[in-house]
Structure 1
């Protein structure tokens, strides 16, 4: 199935190069030239020229069998993003402590428009399986980190998110905009979001906001645990302590009390 957009006559070289890079996905991390052409929607000759240039620069790598994959040069550039590697490095000691205490999955995420982007994930021993991956995206409304990030987002962002078709992941997935608005108000009141079996029926997520130097919410931390054995009320203060530690390391000025 073709994933790329059909190339228009006025499409810039930059846009076409991005189409080449977008052809690579978690499901298809390694592609041959013909597959890149098909998935990007570009003519084979155009794809060949762009792939050659991107490989020469280091954005793509080619193996001995003629397969292409994303190159390390892109990782070097991406590491400069302040909400990426820099945030991750600041947060990692607190995430590690939270993971050791809970022995569950620990996640750090930011909002990119109407999606959650996961910056880090640490898997606990015997922890529940999750659908997320570092660098992956997910919808805002069904996830704990997404509910936190949406709760503190501008009103227009909230309304745009709630206007989207809301996918049903499980029988407990919230899909009513009015119900989600009430949940977001509760998140702002308590400083904690709980997503109970909204993504999978065996997992519950407890999340809290991370504040930046201007005390604005820049990220969210969560613990994802087995729904049949986790106690969200016990996990909440642990997640809040980790989120506050990251916030202070980022320069936020917060009250010392944990809600």
Structure 2
């Protein structure tokens, strides 16, 4: 039965949107407007409007070269409610546990949500009386270490540039520099001066590109962010090994593999 406030046009738009999203498959991770129009029997201008609305809603994103579309961040955020279906989340826990034990720091895994990384797994070092951690489900800010590595390697670099541009003044310059370093080295760091909390992030890749970010979290004493110490190398090794299981180790920059 139709809801009292819903029009037939609204229902048709939802149906069309679900049909477009349903065209994505493991063997077709990218989709063009032309292909969708042909398969759904729509004209291109109508299909293009649907694609534009889906991009605005975060359900689709443009591919790296802008010629096609890929599933968007909101779909990933919704998918985080059924984490067992995501290979990276299934494979990550032993890597996070080992990383927390080696570094005696908290280790976290995040997936990209609607507009930033969303924390999906956390492992804490229970041998420490004081633990610095992060809440599962928390969306990290744009200047966080994990967000910097996402911005460095995400397929939609136009969107990454827009997110960097949304930061004002000197903070924008520092963020842009951090993203550039992450692109070169595969690692990013951040230090919250008011709480003295620090974090170092690394990308996790599957065959298609970045699929998650991994981080260690501590304080300026336990995790210095101005040097590549042992915890940085341990994080790099964990991110690389998880990416290797996912078939994405070839995406790491050369400077990153030098740490291994």
Length-normalised TM-score, structure 2: 0.60
CA separation of 1:205 and 1:150: change in aligned 2, threshold 3 A:
same
User: For the residues of structure 2 that align with 1:76 and 1:209, how far apart are their CA atoms?
Assistant: 18
Out of 151, 172, 179, the position equivalent to 2:174 is 179
How much has 1:246 moved relative to structure 2? 0.4
Q: How many residues align?
A: 179
User: For the residues of structure 2 that align with 1:150 and 1:75, how far apart are their CA atoms?
Assistant: 20
**2:218 aligns to what SS in structure 1?**
strand
Let me know the Cα RMSD of the aligned residues. 3.1
Equivalent in the alignment of 2:44: none
User: For the residues of structure 2 that align with 1:75 and 1:185, how far apart are their CA atoms?
Assistant: 29
1:248 paired with 2:232, answer: no
Equivalent in the alignment of 1:40: none
**2:215 aligns to what SS in structure 1?**
strand
How much has 1:183 moved relative to structure 2? 1.4
User: For the residues of structure 2 that align with 1:77 and 1:92, how far apart are their CA atoms?
Assistant: 17
Equivalent in the alignment of 1:217: 210
Equivalent in the alignment of 1:116: 117
**2:235 aligns to what SS in structure 1?**
helix
How much has 1:106 moved relative to structure 2? 0.4
User: For the residues of structure 2 that align with 1:140 and 1:237, how far apart are their CA atoms?
Assistant: 24
Structure 1: 5+ residue stretches without partners: 1-7, 16-73, 167-173
1:78 paired with 2:74, answer: no
How much has 1:206 moved relative to structure 2? 0.9
Q: Could you list the per-position Cα deviations for residues 199-256 of structure 1 after superposition, in whole angstroms to 9, with x for gaps in the alignment? A: x522110111111113x11111110012133234212111000000100111124379
User: For the residues of structure 1 that align with 2:131 and 2:141, how far apart are their CA atoms?
Assistant: 20
Out of 158, 161, 164, the position equivalent to 1:162 is 164
Equivalent in the alignment of 2:132: 129
Equivalent in the alignment of 1:60: none
**2:140 aligns to what SS in structure 1?**
strand
**1:176 aligns to what SS in structure 2?**
helix
Equivalent in the alignment of 1:3: none
How much has 1:155 moved relative to structure 2? 2.1
Equivalent in the alignment of 1:238: 234
User: For the residues of structure 2 that align with 1:98 and 1:177, how far apart are their CA atoms?
Assistant: 31
Length-normalised TM-score, structure 1: 0.60
Whether contact under 8 Å (1:240, 1:258) holds in the other structure is no
User: For the residues of structure 1 that align with 2:103 and 2:84, how far apart are their CA atoms?
Assistant: 31
User: For the residues of structure 1 that align with 2:142 and 2:190, how far apart are their CA atoms?
Assistant: 11
Structure 2: 5+ residue stretches without partners: 15-77
Equivalent in the alignment of 2:104: 103
Task: Flag the structure with higher helix content.
Answer: 2
User: For the residues of structure 2 that align with 1:210 and 1:116, how far apart are their CA atoms?
Assistant: 13
Whether contact under 8 Å (1:128, 1:203) holds in the other structure is no
Q: Could you list the per-position Cα deviations for residues 133-188 of structure 1 after superposition, in whole angstroms to 9, with x for gaps in the alignment? A: 222222222x111111112123211222124356xxxxxxx962222112111111
